[in-house]
Amino acid sequence: MIGIILAAGRGSRMGTLTDTQPKCLTELAGRSLLDWQLAALSAAGIEQIIVVRGYYREALSGPGYEVRDNDRWAESNMVVTLTAADDVLCREDCLVSYSDIVYHPDAVRALAASPDDIAIAYDRHWQELWQERFDDPLADAESFRHQNGRLIEIGARSADAAEIQGQYMGLLKFTPTGWQGIRDLLAGLAGTERDRLDMTALLSRLLAADMTIGVVAVEGGWCEVDSEADLEQYRDRIAGGQAWSHDWRW
């Protein structure tokens, strides 16, 4: 299995921290987010890792990973960034990671073991993390429903937390068969539509096309750094001698 880290975007909600570097080089607990991801993937047995670059791409080159580029990062979204690794996705099973999350290697192992051609990891205890990050967790949380190990809804707004069975983490698995189904779907979209497509919207479209998406449960042990406020919160927890991610055990 090959790891793919999607690191093309700027991360404008990080403020001045990304003025001169990609978001994934933001430091947390003494390491960059990228270093945390590389370490987790490696510890889970994934030896070949590809980082897809865009914004300040020259900052992303070093030992431990190969690179691909999304030359149109400023005018496209995450799905277009993923297609920059099409050559690998067509021939190998791949574990895909957003570049602004930190997670335990066990999450990678569990997702890699999924038998489905397309699968995603989700956190069953999402409310603990969202309550720390947001005054109103439902202002950011999206719908997530599954049945018999299969995703049935994702990405809509919900007025009741009890109806949300988890939160998608930004970790996905694709086999070449699963990726071919995605390629077919993308081929039917206009260029501007593809450019605007984020990953959650893609997953929703796959469901509408009756494609199967497996779900793998994770119980804490991860966090998302989406803003300066997230980063400050985690740093305050560290300064106070607390774990910097909810239920963090790595």
pLDDT of 52-70, one tens digit each? 999 999 999 978 899 999 9
Flag whether 244 is in a domain: no
Contacts of 245 (CB under 8 A, 6+ apart): 102, 129, 220, 221, 222, 223, 234
Find the range with the poorest average confidence among 36-40, 43-47, 96-100, 130-134.
130-134
Give the closest residue to 73 by CA, choosing from 12, 134, 157. Answer: 12
**Residue 236 and residue 206 in contact, taking contact as beta carbons nearer than 8 Å:** no
For the chain, the domain total comes to 1
**Residue 245 placed within a domain:** no
**Does residue 249 form part of some domain?**
no
Residue 106 lies in a domain: yes
pLDDT value of position 245: 57
| Confidence tier at 247 by pLDDT (50, 70, 90) | very low
Indicate if the pLDDT at residue 149 is higher than 90. Answer: yes
The answer as to whether 211 is a domain residue is: yes
Residue 248 lies inside a defined structural domain of this protein: no
Q: What is the CATH number of the domain that holds 144?
A: 3.90.550.10
Instruction: Decide: pTM greater than 0.85.
Output: yes
Q: Which residues contact 212 (CB under 8 A, 6 or more apart)?
A: 116, 117, 118, 150
Phi/psi zone of residue 155: left (φ > 0), alpha (ψ -120 to 50 degrees), beta?
Answer: left
Give the per-residue pLDDT at 248. Answer: 45
Predicted confidence at residue 116, as pLDDT, reads: 98
Residue 134 pLDDT greater than 90, yes or no: no
Domain extent at residue 81:
2-239
Asked whether residue 247 is domain-assigned, the answer is: no
Per-residue 3-state assignment (H helix, E strand, C coil) for the chain: CEEEEEECCCCHHHHHHHCCCCHHHCEECCEEHHHHHHHHHHHCCCCEEEEEEECEHHHCCCCCCEEEECCCHHHCCHHHHHHCCHHHHCCCCEEEEECCEEECHHHHHHHHCCCCCEEEEEECCHHHHHHHHCCCHHHCCCCEEEECCEEEEECCCCCCHHHCCCEEEEEEEECHHHHHHHHHHHHCCCHHHHHHCCHHHHHHHHHHCCCCCEEEEECCCEEECCCHHHHHHHHHHHHCCCCCCCCCCC
Residue 246 is assigned to a structural domain of this protein: no
